Amino acid sequence: MQTKQLTVTELNIEHLPLVMGLQSKIIANLDKDEKHFILERSVEDFMRALSNGNTHMIGVFDGDKLIAQSMFDFPQAGQNRDLSEFAGETGNEDLVIYKATLVDVDYRGRGLMQKLLAYREAKARAAGKTTAISQIAVDNPASWINALKNGMSIRKVDHDPEDQAKVLYMRKDFYDLPHIPTAAGEGFSMRIGQDIKKEIPALFNKMRYFAARGYYGVGFDRRDNSIVWTKAGGRTENEALNRRIVLLGARGKTIRI
Ligand SMILES: CC(C)(COP(=O)(O)OP(=O)(O)OC[C@H]1O[C@@H](n2cnc3c(N)ncnc32)[C@H](O)[C@@H]1OP(=O)(O)O)[C@@H](O)C(=O)NCCC(=O)NCCS
């Protein structure tokens, strides 16, 4: 398909008709058993979100056509936040919560989601955030493989408390070293099989088992279609010290020891 110059823009209420149009197109293209991949939002939901000051939306345009959109929250200190069942030890002031990313079916597989993830992270860092979290359906590998590629890791595997969907909770600490196994014995691979929908029940149980035992899902290996897991922790004293120093620099004033 011929594309014009692609541009990334912060979206506002004036973009609502385009936002609704893209959402409808994406939902119409999801299979019946994929509808839980995204939360369908009404015009009122978008209006509320875009006017509350904490929710941000960015869009990618091909000329004047909206072809991808992504939403994220900067929760304020002391507020109730989404995904409160996850990362409770991290203060709202440090957190960015990644929400739905939608890419027009005609523009998939060209790296747009990666672009949006990088853009969201840059915005979050500029706002003084140190940690990103998100929740993704287990049977949506397009979404969580992308998140893994962006450096997020799987930390918790559970049922969503509201609709009981099987979900992954993912996290990225912007100032941490990547949790990539560097020596034999530090990590292992878990094949996801060729037909993810068929594999989900077993995969969910295996992932849940390892996440509950302190393993992080940190990467995806295309060669054998597997998730790479590594044992959390194990950070040396020097690395931990470095993290504190970097955090001091990033946050300007707060000391976290
Ligand atoms: C998930 C979604 C946003 C991905 O957008 P995208 O722009 O096509 O993704 P990108 O081109 O940036 O990423 C491509 C990578 O994603 C992964 N990927 C994309 N589609 C995939 C699929 N169907 N199965 C497995 N992996 C897939 C691959 O790792 C690919 O990397 P590769 O090129 O190295 O193989 C898009 O498929 C979408 O809008 N889906 C419907 C809505 C949705 O589920 N949103 C996510 C919920 S928050």
AA letter at 192? I
Candidate of 38, 145, 203 to mutate for ligand 1, largest count of ligand atoms within 8 Å of Cβ: 145
**What pLDDT does 72 receive?**
97
Tokens (6 digits) for 69 = 């959109």
Question: What structural domains does the chain harbor?
Answer: 6-251 (3.40.630.30)
Count how many Cα atoms sit within 13 Å of the Cα of residue 15 in the half-sphere of its side chain. Answer: 23
**Which alpha helices (DSSP H) does the chain contain, by range?**
16-28, 43-51, 112-126, 141-149, 196-212, 237-251
Q: Which atom of ligand 1 is nearest to the CA of 109?
A: 11
Which sign does the torsion angle of CA 42, 75, 160, 31 carry?
positive
Q: Does the Cβ of 111 fall within 6 Å of ligand 1? A: yes
**What pLDDT does 213 receive?**
93
**What pLDDT does 49 receive?**
87
CA-CA distance, 114 to 72, in Å (whole number)? Answer: 15
CA nearest neighbour of 66 among 143, 121, 11: 11
State the DSSP code for 43: H
Alpha-carbon distances, residue 200 vs 11, 63, 204 (angstroms): 35, 39, 6
Tokens (6 digits) for 179 = 């949790």
**What pLDDT does 242 receive?**
53
**What pLDDT does 193 receive?**
86
Q: Does the Cβ of 83 fall within 6 Å of ligand 1? A: no
**What pLDDT does 81 receive?**
96
Q: Are 70 and 102 in contact, with CB atoms under 8 Å apart? A: yes
Tokens (6 digits) for 8 = 């990334």
**What pLDDT does 195 receive?**
87
What does pTM read for this prediction? Answer: 0.88
CA-CA distance, 18 to 92, in Å (whole number)? Answer: 31
The residue whose CA is least distant from atom 33 of ligand 1 is 109
**What pLDDT does 71 receive?**
96
User: In the chain, which stretches have pLDDT less than 70?
Assistant: 1-4, 181-185, 233-257
The three-state secondary structure class of 217 is strand
Q: Does the Cβ of 7 fall within 6 Å of ligand 1? A: no
The CA 88 to ligand 1 mean position distance, Å, reads 29
Q: Which atom of ligand 1 is nearest to the CA of 140?
A: 44
**What pLDDT does 256 receive?**
42
The CA 113 to ligand 1 mean position distance, Å, reads 7
